Amino acid sequence: MRSTVHLEHDRWRIAVQIALACAALAVSGYAQEIAVQNDSGVSVKVTAAEIAALPHQKVSVDLHGKAVSFDAVPLRLVLEKAGITLGDSLRGKRLSFCLLVEAADGYRVVFALPELDPAFTDRVILIADRADGQPIGSHDGPFRIVVPGEKKMARWVWQVTALKIVKIP
């Protein structure tokens, strides 16, 4: 017959194994895709692999007093990957649309569509999937909006889960 000490040890061992399994599932399953919704409400999933395959650029920033180098994709390329066009189609009534960026924790910000179009601005708004050469961890990622040159980082959304084209009434 097993002693009480051995039974208690077994319980702790099982509890630790369950906790580790849950943690592994949480890390492996966190938002490895972004839902991109067009102005008609049709949504397409863009995966981490698809974003990784797009042309990246490096941008070094001071993030709360720490130098960080992001590998990122122009946000417009992710929209184009999902079938959303800018360029010549961005005129007239379409100028009243914006991009709503949503995060896993419910945080939401908007960008006017002209802010994403190189015909309107030289500034490039990015979506990063790597920081300092490593995939962005579950705390901030796997996707993070980076807006170089913006004085406040309030629109630097982390844990991006959705991009939605919405009309301003």
Task: Write out the chain's pLDDT in tens, 169 residues.
Answer: 555 555 565 665 554 455 444 443 344 344 589 999 998 889 999 999 999 999 999 999 988 889 999 999 999 999 999 889 888 888 888 888 999 999 999 999 999 999 999 999 999 999 999 999 999 988 888 999 999 989 899 999 999 999 999 988 8
Whether residues 83 and 158 share a domain: the answer is yes
Residue 90 dihedral angles phi and psi, to the nearest 5°: -90, 80
Give the span between the Cα atoms of 93 and 116, in whole angstroms. Answer: 17
The total domain count for the chain is 2
CB 115 within 8 A of CB 100: no
Whether residues 102 and 157 share a domain: the answer is yes
**In this structure, what CATH number is given to the domain that contains residue 70?**
3.90.420.10
SS3 (DSSP) at 23: helix
Whole-number pLDDT of residue 114: 93
109 closest CA partner among 137, 138, 136, 75: 75
Q: Which domain holds residue 141?
A: 32-167
Whole-number pLDDT of residue 25: 39
Q: Decide: residue 66, CB within 10 A, 0-12 exposed, 13-18 middle, 19+ buried.
A: exposed
Whether residues 9 and 51 share a domain: the answer is no
Whether residues 111 and 55 share a domain: the answer is yes
- Per this entry, what is the length of the chain? 169
CB 54 within 8 A of CB 39: no
Whether residues 13 and 69 share a domain: the answer is no
